[in-house]
Amino acid sequence: MVLAGLRLIGFGAVHSRTSVEAIPGADKGKEGLHEAASQEASKGKLVPTVRVETMARGSLSRTVVLSGTVTPTRTARLASPGEGPVEACAIANCMVREGDRVQKGQILLQISRNKAAQAQVSAAEQMLKEQRKELERIAQLVQGGAVPGAQLDGARSKYENARAQLAKAIENAEDYLVSAPWDGVVSKVYVAEGDYVAPRTPLIEIFDPASLVVQFAIPESQSTEVQEKMPLQIEFDAHSGQVFRGVVSRVYPQLDDRTRTRSVEAALTDEVNLIPGMFARIQVVLARIPDALTVPAHCLLATQEGGFSAFIVEGGKAVRRNLRTGVEVDGRRHIVSGLDEGDRVIVAGQETLKEGAEVKVVEEEASHADAAVKGEGRS
């Protein structure tokens, strides 16, 4: 049976649930206790009737479930210093569309009005040829002793300057050709053929499919409990009914000032087809105790010192035990000390008991072997 509750985690309403076995006789509630008490009263002796649970160790885990989105960590928004209309070009695969796979160096888009830049390249190439010939001529004259060696240094300086001018001209010409910086997929094309673009206007956006991660935000109240390499379970609406394994790959160093959450990235260890924008549900185990003792939180009694106590049954009598408790997991409290495995803890009928009072056990329950809490929230 699945018990459901509502709890606040960090901010907003968060649902909690845990998978536990149904408490035997839970539907009888207080009616069973009242019936047994009435039978004792009819015999002339009123003995408090109680229900107990035998303590047993089990796994206790505290889990938070958050929502996230598949997003690439490597993206590029391409622009150009050039100005002019977008034009069709004779290069194969030029002017790409969304979804196209591109390779490093591939031309994606061309801007016209680049004739001046091409002319500068031709002029720089011609100048470089002339300066190379001049350098070779001066070198021969210096070798023959016809001219001083200082002239060779001047000729070499002019040659290097011509090389620099050619490199600059080529760069200016390439400004009108937008190319891919690495292999990837085109995610957005912001312009169409014929559009007039200004310098540095975003033209095309690409992403690297190998960089896809699941990004989510964890509330401030749990922000210090998430560490890198923590195991995760991830579900996607696009892959309904399947659960994939992953690990925390990156934890951002600070909280978001507006939402008071900490961004986290998860990498999948299982093979799965991911698309940017996919909705994901991420289950993070914040804490796990493999051999925990737990009791129903409603059976605990507050002490004057601010702690908790509980009654156990020993020799047919109620004995009060002071407890040191830990985390509460969906209605069950972790007992750090004060109770031992096999103790019969009174879980119903303890409200008016006194130390050493004789009690009658009307029904005994086995302790829940395992408990887990899950909080669901939007990140």
Q: What is the pLDDT of residue 34?
A: 52
Q: How confident is the model at residue 202 (pLDDT cuts 50, 70, 90)?
A: very high
CA-CA distance, 340 to 262, in Å (whole number)?
Answer: 39
Nearest alpha-carbon partner for 109 in 3, 23, 195: 195
* 3-state secondary structure (DSSP) of residue 217: strand
Phi, psi dihedral angles at 244 (to 5 degrees): -115, 150
Q: How confident is the model at residue 370 (pLDDT cuts 50, 70, 90)?
A: low
Which residues are CB-contacts of 121 (< 8 A; sequence separation ≥ 6)? 166, 169, 170, 172, 173
The answer regarding whether domain 75-207 maps to CATH 3.40.80.10 reads no
Which residues are CB-contacts of 155 (< 8 A; sequence separation ≥ 6)? 131, 134, 135, 138, 139
Does 217-286 match 75-207 at the fold level? no
Place of tokens 């408990």: 371
Is residue 186 over pLDDT 80? Answer: yes
Q: What is the pLDDT of residue 376?
A: 41
Q: What is the pLDDT of residue 10?
A: 35
Q: Would you list the domain boundaries of the chain?
A: 2-64+289-377, 75-207, 217-286
Choose which CATH entry (3.20.20.140, 2.40.420.20, 3.40.50.360, 3.20.20.450) describes domain 2-64+289-377: 2.40.420.20
**What architecture (CATH level 2) is domain 217-286?**
Beta Barrel (2.40)
Per 3-state DSSP, what percentage of the chain is helix, strand, and coil (rounded to 5)? 20, 45, 35
Please provide the DSSP assignment of 3-43 as one string. EEEEEE-SSSEEEEEEE-PPPTTTTTHHHHHHHHHHHHHHT
Q: What is the pLDDT of residues 241-254, one digit of tens each?
A: 999 999 999 999 99
Q: How confident is the model at residue 43 (pLDDT cuts 50, 70, 90)?
A: low
Of residues 76 and 152, more confidently modeled:
76
Please provide the DSSP assignment of 246-305 as one string. EEEEEEEEEE-TTT-EEEEEEEESS-----TT-EEEEEEEEEEEEEEEEEEGGG-EE-TT
Q: What is the pLDDT of residue 77?
A: 95
User: Partners of 64 in the beta sheet?
Assistant: 284, 375
Q: How confident is the model at residue 8 (pLDDT cuts 50, 70, 90)?
A: very low
- Residue 160 Cα to chain centre, angstroms: 53
Q: Average per-residue pLDDT in the chain?
A: 80
Beta strands 231-236; 279-296: pairing state: antiparallel
